[in-house]
Amino acid sequence: MSLATQTLASLRRRIADGEIHPRDVVADLATAIDAGNPQLGAYLSWDAERALAEAEKADLSLPLAGLPVGIKDNINVTGQPCTCGSKMLAENYTAPYDAGAIVRLRAGGAVPFGRLNMDEFAMGSTTENSALGLTRNPHDPQRVPGGSSGGSAAAVAGHLAIAALGSDTGGSIRQPAALCGCVGLKPTYGRISRYGLVAFASSLDQIGPLTKTVEDAALLLNHLCGKDGRDSTSLDTPVPDFTSALGRDIQGLRIGLPKEYFIDGLHPGVSASVKAAVDRLAALGAELVEVSLPHTDLGVATYYIVAPAEASANLARFDGVRYGHRSEEATDLMEHYFKSRAEGFGPEVKRRILLGTYVLSSGYYDAYYLKAQRARTLIRRDFEQAFEKVDLLISPTSPAPAHKLGELKDNPLAAYLEDVFTIPANLAGLPAISVPCSPVEVEGVALPVGLQLIGKPLDELTVLRAADAFERG
């Protein structure tokens, strides 16, 4: 059997036993990608020779002993492309340095292998906003993989990656993990350095792992977290051994069901699957408590002001001078800016820049941006109050299973509303995981459904402990 189908945990054991070498893993993975990627479209590029060379000289005494990890194409890895799924960076940008998360990953022994497709600049929930190609859901090629880390989720679930990194600003790790049927973890804001992650909305962005199992998420997290002097928002707090959360019971753990999250618009199959998951957690000894997050209905509107506002500032640097696509049509400086940005950015990115510029402009700042900041505080307080009563919160990750390709393409508002369950954890900076629960049958295909567990700040251990107990059943 191809080693591409295995987990980090099992490969690590087999490498330690001398049964296989990491080069065998990279070789099998390269074969799987060559065969499967033309259909799946998960990778934008990959350099098997380079990864083989790195695996060849891997230090086998390190915990991630030469194991390949796929990287979302907005995280810089020295000498590799970093397109952000955009024409803006596709032509002439090669990363000159390793992101902070990559430095740590390498220190743990891992080999970054391959660049994974994404919605342009991480704006979207289907990966259809990539300017560079289509990614399909491994469970049904007519459906989207979710997004924006759709390439990462499709690769892991489709066995074209052992594990991958994604980024999550409003759900972009958890939602594609849910739709593709893998595990996706967004850690507490500040746990993982954002240095070298191309910024979308800096107060919300966070890197995290997409994996086949909760155990693998814990393993990777051990080699991603920690203070980085180059990211002033990265936290200087001790990093526990996240694998210590595994194999434990959840007897007496108090899990809150936010009543606002179990709403009418929920797909009936998702609702049934999440209810069954709640029963399973109760059978495992958890104490289920109904809680209220009264400002939930402000989440989507708040996010779609804060995130575009920050994006409009962050994306100002792509002007074709130092970075990005440069128009050949321009005859003067202003035209150079206008044409380079008009040609380089796709429609969703332009929509966000316009929205963000508008809500930050004088006369509208107080009415929109400032108000959104206040709503953000209310949402954070909702969580603080709920966490006085419970250890964890539970919800569906996404209100529906994977949509058909094209279904949401011309309706950005409908797509934004799908982020209702994932956005609040970003606004409040909380750790949250999506773990597969029972699939739902749609048109004769079993489609994955994700269960979301949200934890207290810095309490990834409890999130992982419950997710692992749930996964083991």
Cβ proximity to ligand GLN: between 6 and 130 the closer is 130
By rule CB under 6 A, what string of x and - marks binding of each residue 292-331 to ligand GLN?
---------------x------------------------
By rule CB under 6 A, what string of x and - marks binding of each residue 14-33 to ligand GLN?
--------------------
Cβ proximity to ligand GLN: between 146 and 455 the closer is 146
Question: For residue 24, what are the contacts with CB-CB under 8 A and spacing of at least 6?
Answer: 3
Q: Which candidate, 454, 450, 457, 456, places its Cα nearest to that of 471? A: 450
> In whole angstroms, what is the distance from residue 307 CA to residue 47 CA?
33
In the complex, minimum distance from the CB of residue 412 to ligand GLN, in angstroms, rounded to a whole number: 9
Cβ proximity to ligand GLN: between 145 and 170 the closer is 170
Maximal C-alpha separation, the chain? 70
Q: Is residue 148 annotated as a catalytic residue, yes or no?
A: yes
Cβ proximity to ligand GLN: between 148 and 243 the closer is 148
The H or E element containing residue 276 is helix 268-283
Residue 64, SS3 per DSSP: coil
> Could you tell me the sign of the dihedral formed by the alpha carbons of 459, 460, 465, 469, in that order?
positive
- Residue pair 461/471 in contact (Cβ under 8 Å)? The answer is no
Query: Among residues 216, 419, 459, 460, which is the contact residue for ligand GLN, using CB under 6 A?
Result: 419
Query: Among residues 148, 152, 296, 314, which is the contact residue for ligand GLN, using CB under 6 A?
Result: 148
Cβ proximity to ligand GLN: between 204 and 449 the closer is 204
Residue the block writes with tokens 């529906």:
400
By rule CB under 6 A, what string of x and - marks binding of each residue 196-235 to ligand GLN?
----x-----------------------------------
- Residues numbered 88-127 forming contacts with ligand GLN, rule: CB under 6 A: 122-125
> Could you tell me the sign of the dihedral formed by the alpha carbons of 166, 379, 352, 96, in that order?
negative
Instruction: Return phi, psi of residue 358, to 5°.
Output: -65, -50
In the complex, minimum distance from the CB of residue 347 to ligand GLN, in angstroms, rounded to a whole number: 13
> In whole angstroms, what is the distance from residue 387 CA to residue 384 CA?
5
> In whole angstroms, what is the distance from residue 311 CA to residue 334 CA?
21
In the complex, minimum distance from the CB of residue 403 to ligand GLN, in angstroms, rounded to a whole number: 13
In the complex, minimum distance from the CB of residue 172 to ligand GLN, in angstroms, rounded to a whole number: 3
- Residues numbered 156-195 forming contacts with ligand GLN, rule: CB under 6 A: 168-172
The percent of the chain in helix, strand and coil, each rounded to the nearest 5, is 40, 15, 40
Cβ proximity to ligand GLN: between 4 and 197 the closer is 197
Locate 59 and state its tokens: 């230090």
Question: For residue 298, what are the contacts with CB-CB under 8 A and spacing of at least 6?
Answer: 375, 378, 379
361 upstream amide cis, omega within 30 of 0: no
Q: How many residues bind ligand GLN (CB under 6 A)?
A: 13
- Residue pair 213/183 in contact (Cβ under 8 Å)? The answer is yes
> Could you tell me the sign of the dihedral formed by the alpha carbons of 147, 403, 351, 201, in that order?
negative
The H or E element containing residue 448 is strand 445-455
Instruction: Give the active site residue among 125, 172, 273, 434.
Output: 172
Q: Is residue 72 annotated as a catalytic residue, yes or no?
A: yes
Instruction: Give the active site residue among 86, 125, 130, 148.
Output: 148
The 10 Å Cβ neighbour count of residue 91 is 12
Cβ proximity to ligand GLN: between 39 and 411 the closer is 411
In the complex, minimum distance from the CB of residue 29 to ligand GLN, in angstroms, rounded to a whole number: 26
Cβ proximity to ligand GLN: between 42 and 307 the closer is 307
In the complex, minimum distance from the CB of residue 224 to ligand GLN, in angstroms, rounded to a whole number: 17
Q: Is residue 193 annotated as a catalytic residue, yes or no?
A: no
> In whole angstroms, what is the distance from residue 468 CA to residue 473 CA?
8
Closest residue by beta carbon to ligand GLN: 172
Q: Is 420 in the site for ligand GLN (CB under 6 A)?
A: no
- Residue pair 408/399 in contact (Cβ under 8 Å)? The answer is no
In the complex, minimum distance from the CB of residue 206 to ligand GLN, in angstroms, rounded to a whole number: 9
In the complex, minimum distance from the CB of residue 215 to ligand GLN, in angstroms, rounded to a whole number: 24
Active site residues: 72, 148, 172
- In the complex, which residues of this chain contact ligand GLN (CB under 6 A)? 122-125, 148, 168-172, 200, 307, 419
